[in-house]
Amino acid sequence: MNFKRNDFPPSVKNLLYEEGTNFKDDYGNKVQALGTGIIAIVGTARSGKTSLAYSMLEWVIDNTSRNIILDSFPQRIIDEAFPSKFEGRIFNTSFVNIASVETSSVWLVDDTGSSFNSRDSMSGSSRTLSRTAGILSHWEQTVIFTTQLFSAVDLSFLRYTALVPILRRVDPSVVSQERPQFQETVRHSNYQLQNISKQPYFRDYYFNVKDGTVCESPFPDWINKEKNPIQADMLSKPMKYHDVEKKYEMIGQKAPRKAKNKEKKEFNAV
């Protein structure tokens, strides 16, 4: 692909730009951006899913006027971990409140396999995910979500809107657990990445299923753990920074009640 490392292929930009933005497609033709849909980033843990998503968010900040919304990220991450250019354009909103968002925005829904599990049909987030799939375009919303396997996500979210699947490395031992229609694509992606990558877990490239191409992966300097170890950890594992009550809520449980300290009775010697 003829684009710079900090850029993205036309199929991705088609969803990241605001609706109607003029840009060039793969053949150099001027087209108008759709400006809505789903960018699904799939890969095994530590394969670089989240860093690629952050690169897309930075591209949105640099090239559009759209806002960024992080699904239920700790507020501390927004306040302390993102560069100053994100200030005023990045918000922390639960996906179940998507109907309240009135501006054209790009969402990051991270670790979707646990938040929007295909078997967790009764959760509020899962119901919202399914019901909004067909009307994202009416609300001018683009959703970037990450997951370890497509099989972990309710497919109703993938059937009714524009979709650009992006594949990072998927552990060969779990490919058989993927949905049958995706297994061969995942194996092909792994093969392509293995042939070109020079980094562990093939983090330096990703496979764009939409175009059938291998693309060099950008990596924001502000999440480099060698330069910013604390910031990098916060962005790599954002859910780690929730308080205990929120962590229990994320797995559908109530936090244990804190034991009250019993007052020690004092006895006066007789």
Question: Does residue 147 lie in a domain region?
Answer: yes
Structural domain contains residue 259: no
pLDDT, one tens digit for every residue, the chain (270 residues)? 445 556 899 999 999 999 999 999 888 899 999 999 989 999 998 899 999 999 999 999 999 999 999 988 899 999 999 999 999 999 998 887 888 898 999 999 876 444 554 545 444 555 566 666 667 778 889 999 898 888 877 666 666 678 899 999 999 999 999 989 899 999 999 999 999 999 989 999 999 999 899 999 999 999 998 988 999 999 988 888 888 887 887 777 887 877 655 544 444 544
> Is residue 3 a part of any domain in this protein?
no
Residue 232's H or E segment, with its range, is: helix 229-236
CATH number for position 74? 3.40.50.300
Residue 49 lies in a domain: yes
**Nearest residue to 152 via CA among 178, 122, 113, 209:** 113
pTM of the model: 0.85
Give the count of alpha carbons within 13 A of 21, CB side only: 22
Per the domain annotation, does 66 fall within a domain? yes
Cβ atoms of residues 115 and 94 within 8 Å: no
Residue whose structure tokens are 């003029």: 22
Q: Assess if residue 255 is contained within a domain.
A: no
Burial of 244 (0-12, 13-18, 19+ CB in 10 A): exposed
Judge residue 161's burial from the number of C-beta atoms within 10 Å of its C-beta, 0-12 exposed, 13-18 middle, 19 or more buried. Answer: buried
Residue 138 is part of which domain span? 10-220
Write down the pLDDT at residue 115.
Answer: 52
Question: What's the number of domains the chain is made of?
Answer: 1
| β-sheet bridge partners, residue 216 | 205
Helix axes 49-63, 229-236, angle to 10 degrees: 100
Does any domain span residue 256?
Answer: no
